């Protein structure tokens, strides 16, 4: 999920690495939306006891976000590598957070940390009929 400060301050919300990723992995769903506070509270429920929880929900509600569902081989693991570390200072150059972020609380992008989390988050952000299951012709050149 691309967070609101990036979507509202740039004419193109896709960092170059995401454009490459979309071509290689495939996007089953993508939606720009103003998330409700209820949706955001549920999405970040695992952080509810942290001191920054209320501020995070308020911040995320302050503008639009772009929610995406990606598919591909080891998509969660490789997606996390592409996104970078939670703390942008620990992220390598070439990752989204390494190239486009300064502080953890404004780190531009969220990526699921496990397949189980991804399944839960997909269910929160998308209805099944909003996801397109298709196979790109390019996949024959990418996967064995």
Q: Is 110 a catalytic residue?
A: yes
Q: What is the dihedral of CA 26, 107, 35, 69, to 10 degrees?
A: 10
Q: What is the CA radius of gyration of the chain?
A: 15
Closest among 113, 84, 86 to 99, alpha carbons compared? 84
Residue of 6, 110, 127, 137 with catalytic role: 110
- Predicted confidence (pLDDT) per residue in 109-125, tens digit: 889 999 999 999 999 99
How far is C-alpha 19 from the chain's CA centre? Answer: 13
Instruction: Quote the tokens at residue 72.
Output: 């591909």
pLDDT in tens, 49-63: 999 999 999 999 999
Looking at domain 17-132, what is its CATH homologous superfamily?
Nucleoside diphosphate kinase-like domain (3.30.70.141)
Domain positions in the chain: 17-132
DSSP code at position 10: -
- H or E segment and range at residue 29: strand 27-33
């Amino acid at each position: 999920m691309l967070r609101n400060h990036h979507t509202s301050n740039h004419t193109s919300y896709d960092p170059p690495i995401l454009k490459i990723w979309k071509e290689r992995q495939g996007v089953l769903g993508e939606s720009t939306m103003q998330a409700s506070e209820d949706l955001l509270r549920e999405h970040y429920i695992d952080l509810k006891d942290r001191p920054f929880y209320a501020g995070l929900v308020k911040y995320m509600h302050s503008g639009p976000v772009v929610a995406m569902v990606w598919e591909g081989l080891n998509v969660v693991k490789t997606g996390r590598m592409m996104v970078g570390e939670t703390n942008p200072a620990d992220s390598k150059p070439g990752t989204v957070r390494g190239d486009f972020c300064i502080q953890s609380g404004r780190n531009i992008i969220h990526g699921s940390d496990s397949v189980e989390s991804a399944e839960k988050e997909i269910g929160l952000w998308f209805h099944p009929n909003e996801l397109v299951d298709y196979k790109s012709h390019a996949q024959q050149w990418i996967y064995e």
